Amino acid sequence: MSEETDPLKLLKAQLASALDADATDFETILQLAAQISKLEPDVVRFTTDAAMVRRLGRELVAKQETALGELVKNAYDADATVCSVDLVERGEGTYAFEIVDDGSGMTQSELADGFMRLASDSKVRNPLSPRFHRSRAGKKGIGRFATERLGQRLTIVTQTVEEKDAWTVTIDWDAFAQGSDIGLIANRIVSGPKEREHGTRLTIEGLRDEWTDADLRRVYRYLATLLQPMFEEAESGRGPDDAGFSVRLTRSGNDLGNEDVATIDTEILDQALAIIEAHVDEAGNATWALDCTRFEITLKDVPIGLDRNMVSPLANARNVRLKAWYFIQSREFLGHSTGFVKRLLVEQGGIRLYRNGYRVRPYGEKHDDWLGLDFKNTRIYAPFNSKTFLGFVAVSDPTGERFEETSSREGLIQTAALEEVRQLAYTVLVSAVGRIEAKRGLGRKKPEAKDPQGGESAAKEAEAAAAGIEQLLQDIEHDDGSGIDPERREQLSIAVDRLSAAARASADFASERDALLEELSMMRILASMGLTIAEFTHDFSALAETMELNLNALAGAAGPRSDQFDVALGRFRNQFRQVRAYTAHFGSMTTSNASRDLQNVDLYGFCRQFVDDLSVMFDRRGLELTVERPSEYQLLTAAMHPSEWSSVLLNLLTNAIKAVNRSGRQGRFLIQLGRLDGNQIYLDFSDNGDGILPENRSQIFDAFFTTSGAAPVRASESVQALGTGLGLKIVADIASAAGGFVAVLDKAPEGFVTTIRVAVSAAPEPQVIV
């Protein structure tokens, strides 16, 4: 075979000529070298058809949303904190994607040996990202195929901190046609000015699919496990730890400007049931606010403190801000976003802590419950745990005097200021959710005209309606085919209406049942406390006489003693008498409850006895409770348990004491009695406290509504049960059961601020006092 006809010699000559040329033609040299390699005797090699890229792009990434999501994952793997995806209208119905991140970017070698190399093992060799040490989220090698799945052309502009220039590569995926060798398709790379300090921009043109806003939102939800909400309000800088990762999906174009389609606000925060905020100023004064559009609750600048019953400035904490979004994870509140929001809250829910604009870990991490939100709280029946909140606490302390980092930079030193912040945040969240639950419960209250048999009656009605329809259908089967006559049509319509009404009644009954179960659960807790009190008063009464004798013997045996001893002994005697007065009162009520007989209660006499029983407590606290003699000598109630009036007076008194404590005044209380038209008698209880806000007057008698602060974090169930918002609800229930009502009067007597009236049915005439 001559040299002219020998393929190998011919190709070698052509290659030598190409190599000797002044202008190097790299593409020709590569093609000739590839052809020469095929002529090696007794050897075969794998080659890759360029169409493989298209096939992999379509088969590995079948859905357009998945393809776009994989590119965002690549930004996450590159230690980006922000990734924006903009669907840009280019005119005449054409669109392009602009995907920009602030990640580490790629050097020229990383671009050539990483992105441009199929089946690169860089992510296998480096499973964690270099800066934030994130576990790689992107599927190995899928990103480049995802860009082919999305559009015809890809332009990459990337830059790193280390290099002074940016690198740009443009890839025309249509060049990867069937029959071409993938290794012979050249993609030009050029350097140019940086667009930013570091990061990458991908421009995908000639999109293969139409994109709706719903498609873009699905991408956002697909990325739920990656999203780490960043609170720009709390952040002023970023430390060495992971600063979070947020995604923004927008539309833009000639007429659109820049329009948000999916952001943390639209897809997550806007789904929250409420926004809760709190602020501690330079003097330590704390206020909180609540915005819940769903239940029309708007509270602003409500004073709050660590004492449940009195507002006072914090002793140590200063310049603190809390902002939390509250979620109830049910379809009723989240709609179609339920699954997405649930997944995000499982991974990212909680309250983070920022100090001087930097996030402090581990506070608010997945398994860190620094506020004690996951501790069982028997006071709250609404969902309440770390996964129902998304938010932050931000403290400002440039000098580090109040909030100081540990030497390991993991957390803050446990100071009094940090403990106050912890308690305040917990108190605010509990108070806010309690307000929501109280208002939410109104929507579940039993309507006045409800069937007392509830679900049973509804079920019977449904069965009867179904039987009526079945009978009509049987009659129609035996008909002559002339259709349904007007009379049967009317009967069928009535039966269907009955069935529909029964179904609605069944649904209402289920809702009522849930509300009653909540209330029953709290009543069970209060009942168990009552049994405990009864047992205690019984045992204490048996010991009290012996303790009194021992106290007298101790005083007599002491001999000559100092004035300080006498003062201490006198103080102890007074405290002991107060305890005896309490136990005597509760013991009397327990004894009366043991007998289930109802009595006509002499209201004036009962109130006088109540004052006498608790007189030691009034004297010690400097409180004054006056019972005015009514103009009518005897005011007898209809048959009731005397203990019910004890419950009424105790609940009114404890709420009034809280009110005067908040006001800072010396407590004065007044009980006035009288008779109303319509055979009712009333008790008016007045106090000189801080009053009741007009917007709260219609709610204070609802279950679970309270203005008391929350119990301390991880408090016992008995402590949590105090201030549950059931006290005045119990008063209202007692009055209602006795044929009366309870109300806040518009005007209080002179010298007093608030008057609550409790009215009940009077005993019929003639009367005999029992």
381 confidence band (pLDDT: 50, 70, 90): low
* Secondary structure of residue 307 in the 3-state scheme: coil
Q: What pLDDT score was predicted for residue 36?
A: 80
Question: From CA 371, how far away is CA 714, in angstroms rounded?
Answer: 10
Q: What does the block give as tokens for 561?
A: 């003693």
Question: From CA 658, how far away is CA 707, in angstroms rounded?
Answer: 10
Strand partners, 573: none
* Secondary structure of residue 729 in the 3-state scheme: helix
List pLDDT tens digits, range 486-541: 676 677 677 767 776 666 666 556 556 666 665 565 555 555 555 556 555 555 66
Question: From CA 162, how far away is CA 290, in angstroms rounded?
Answer: 48
- Average pLDDT in the chain: 79
List pLDDT tens digits, range 120-143: 666 667 778 888 888 777 655 667
Residue 119 reports pLDDT greater than 80 = no
The DSSP secondary-structure symbol of 49 reads: B
446 confidence band (pLDDT: 50, 70, 90): very low
What is the greatest pairwise CA distance in the chain? Answer: 141
Q: Is the peptide bond before 766 cis (omega within 30 degrees of 0)?
A: yes
Q: Could you tell me which of 466, 705, 704 has the C-alpha nearest to residue 474?
A: 466
Q: What does the block give as tokens for 256?
A: 């659109």
279 confidence band (pLDDT: 50, 70, 90): very high
Q: What pLDDT score was predicted for residue 28?
A: 78
Decide: 398 and 356 in contact? Cβ < 8 Å: yes
Within 23-115, residue ranges assigned H as helices are 26-38, 51-60, 64-77, 108-110
Unique residue bearing structure tokens 């019972």? 627
Q: What does the block give as tokens for 347?
A: 């991974």
Strands (E) located in 341-454: 350-355, 358-360, 389-395
Strands (E) located in 239-315: 246-253, 257-262, 274-280, 286-292, 297-304
Decide: 202 and 99 in contact? Cβ < 8 Å: yes
Residue 674 reports pLDDT greater than 60 = yes
In single-letter form, the type of residue at position 184 comes to L
Question: Quick count: other Cβ atoms within 10 Å of Cβ 87?
Answer: 23
Question: With b meaning 16 or more CB within 10 Å and e meaning fewer, what string describes 617-630?
Answer: bbeeeebebebeeb
Q: How many CA atoms lie within 13 A of 469 on its CB side?
A: 14
Q: What pLDDT score was predicted for residue 309?
A: 67
Question: From CA 637, how far away is CA 598, in angstroms rounded?
Answer: 11
The DSSP secondary-structure symbol of 547 reads: H
633 confidence band (pLDDT: 50, 70, 90): confident
293 confidence band (pLDDT: 50, 70, 90): very high
pTM: 0.60
Q: Which H or E element spans position 668?
A: strand 668-676
Within 446-562, residue ranges assigned H as helices are 454-477, 486-557
List pLDDT tens digits, range 39-60: 778 877 777 777 777 777 667 6
List pLDDT tens digits, range 638-648: 998 888 898 89
List pLDDT tens digits, range 382-393: 788 999 999 999
> What proportion of the chain, given as a percentage, has pLDDT over 90?
27
Q: What pLDDT score was predicted for residue 300?
A: 93
SS3 readout for 687-704 = ECCCCCCHHHCCCCCCCC
Q: At CB < 8 A and 24+ separation, what contacts does 733-742 make?
A: 734/640, 734/644, 734/647, 734/648, 734/758, 734/760, 735/648, 735/759, 735/760, 738/637, 738/638, 738/640, 738/644, 739/638, 739/680, 740/680, 740/682, 742/701
Question: From CA 611, how far away is CA 624, in angstroms rounded?
Answer: 10
Q: What does the block give as tokens for 698?
A: 């219609």
450 confidence band (pLDDT: 50, 70, 90): very low
Residue 272 reports pLDDT greater than 70 = yes
Interacting residues of 61 by C-beta distance below 8 A, sequence separation 6+ = 67, 70, 142, 145, 146, 149
List pLDDT tens digits, range 731-766: 998 999 899 999 999 999 999 999 999 999 999 875
> What proportion of the chain, given as a percentage, has pLDDT over 70?
71
Q: Could you tell me which of 213, 78, 228 has the C-alpha nearest to residue 159?
A: 78
Q: What pLDDT score was predicted for residue 711?
A: 53
Question: Quick count: other Cβ atoms within 10 Å of Cβ 335?
Answer: 10
List pLDDT tens digits, range 551-595: 677 666 666 667 777 777 777 777 666 666 666 655 555 555 555
Q: How many CA atoms lie within 13 A of 321 on its CB side?
A: 13
Q: What pLDDT score was predicted for residue 312?
A: 87
Q: What pLDDT score was predicted for residue 455?
A: 55
List pLDDT tens digits, range 52-93: 777 776 676 778 888 898 899 889 889 998 999 999 998 888
